Structure 1
Amino acid sequence: MRYANGDIQAVFIDRDGTIGGTGHFIHPRDFQLYPNAQEAIQLLKGTGTKVFALTNQHRISRGQATVQEFEQQFQEYGFDQAYICSHEEECSCRKPKPGMLLQAAAQHGLDLTKCIVIGDVGETDMLAAHAVGAIKIMVRTGWCESSLTKFRDKWAETEPEYIAADILEAVHWIVGNKG
């Protein structure tokens, strides 16, 4: 195990396909959490761990939603802060690039090797985590199965530390390994 005794400084959680939805864009007003996602977020927060949203949302740049609508949604779910890439074009923050993680590290004084990224897509979530040395957890919801099979070649250079059935199992694994 790479950590023990509460060394984890923050957990970054993807939105679409990880805490709810289908993996496709869904406007915040229509988005539905998975049945155990709110419990998972509250369990993490109960340990004193910072919980951040980490999501690519290029439909914002098309005018289909606003950053504020996403931020409000994440605040209602209990996230400490949301990191949202709204760009459709190439940028430094769109996963798999680690820009959002680097921004969070600078704002909160984080050592990203003591942080966890939870997501459902290998070629975005896991590669962003890998780029900064964060602990990687995949959840078998959303796009995970195709990430682990059909698209595995796109992120073959990395392995998640844990693959969980869903967000709640991922959080139980984190809490169980915190010491």
Structure 2
Amino acid sequence: MFHTMAVFLDRDGTIGGDCEVQYPGEFHLYPLVKERIALLKDFGVKIFSFTNQPGIAKGEETVESFHEEMLSFGFDGVYLCPHSHKDGCSCRKPLPGLLYQAAQDHQLDLSKCVVIGDRWSDMVAAQDAGCYKILVLTGAGEEALGKYRHKWKTIKPDYVASNIIQAIQWLFVKGDKDIG
């Protein structure tokens, strides 16, 4: 039986784009992502965005434009850090603040939630919050396993997927459901 309560998806490099931030209007999803989000939702899984967007702090984009974009992709909620890495906030990944906020907002048991991302910071936040961790090799995923592995060397991902579609497939296989 499929027991996942929620899936948190990183944006840039995980569900589309590449390892560089692309603002709403420029950003494009990878093929089949929107359909897989809908399929997870059909099984009662909540889907949340989980992203750092420091361009907001620089005045280059707005929180609202990111919210509108992510909701248009089928997300149930958007959790983003709008701060620069110098701001010292508690929501910027690798800190787990966004996950804790979502858990509080939606009464989630984070031990039954999954984080899918392409960066070491996604994996550290997931580990600290007690979530399952899936690293995708798109975007910065190869660097997370190579150049930046020292930043999360004591953490083992639950699965390493070539892309988001394979990551979601693994969730169904792990949950004894095959999406073909």
The two structures have a TM-score, normalised by structure 2, of 0.94
Residue of 117, 128, 132 corresponding to 1:131: 128
Contiguous gaps of at least 5 residues in structure 1: none
The answer for the alignment partner of 1:173 in structure 2 is 170
Matches within 5 A, 1:110-125: 110-122=108-120, 124-125=121-122
**Amino acid across the alignment from 1:100:** L
Contiguous gaps of at least 5 residues in structure 2: none
Alpha-carbon distance, 1:157 to partner: 1.4
Matches within 5 A, 1:84-99: 84-88=80-84, 89-99=87-97
Residue of 30, 42, 53 corresponding to 1:34: 30
Q: Aligned partners of 1:23 and 1:36: how far apart in 2?
A: 19
Alpha-carbon distance, 1:36 to partner: 2.5
Alpha-carbon distance, 1:38 to partner: 1.5
Matches within 5 A, 1:23-62: 23-62=19-58
SS of equivalent residue, structure 1 residue 60: coil
**Amino acid across the alignment from 1:51:** I
SS of equivalent residue, structure 1 residue 24: coil
Q: Aligned partners of 2:155 and 2:72: how far apart in 1?
A: 33
Residues 140-172 of structure 1, C-alpha deviations (whole Å, 9 max, x = no match): 100000110111001101010001111111111
Residue of 136, 142, 160 corresponding to 1:145: 142
Q: Aligned partners of 1:36 and 1:100: how far apart in 2?
A: 26
1:63 corresponds to 2:59: yes
* Conservation of the 8 A alpha-carbon contact between 1:39 and 1:168: no
The answer for the alignment partner of 1:106 in structure 2 is 104
The answer for the alignment partner of 2:17 in structure 1 is 21
Alpha-carbon distance, 1:17 to partner: 0.3
Q: Aligned partners of 1:79 and 1:172: how far apart in 2?
A: 18
**Amino acid across the alignment from 1:155:** W
The two structures have a TM-score, normalised by structure 1, of 0.94
* Conservation of the 8 A alpha-carbon contact between 1:40 and 1:167: no
**Amino acid across the alignment from 2:54:** H
Query: Once structures 1 and 2 are overlaid, which stretch shifts more, 140-149 or 33-42?
Result: 33-42
* Conservation of the 8 A alpha-carbon contact between 1:105 and 1:112: yes
Work out the number of aligned pairs and report it: 174
Identity over the aligned pairs, expressed in percent?
47
Q: Aligned partners of 1:165 and 1:47: how far apart in 2?
A: 23
Q: Aligned partners of 1:60 and 1:145: how far apart in 2?
A: 27
TM superposition outliers: structure 1 runs of 4+ over 2 Å: none
The answer for the alignment partner of 1:77 in structure 2 is 73
**Amino acid across the alignment from 1:120:** D
Q: Aligned partners of 2:52 and 2:128: how far apart in 1?
A: 16
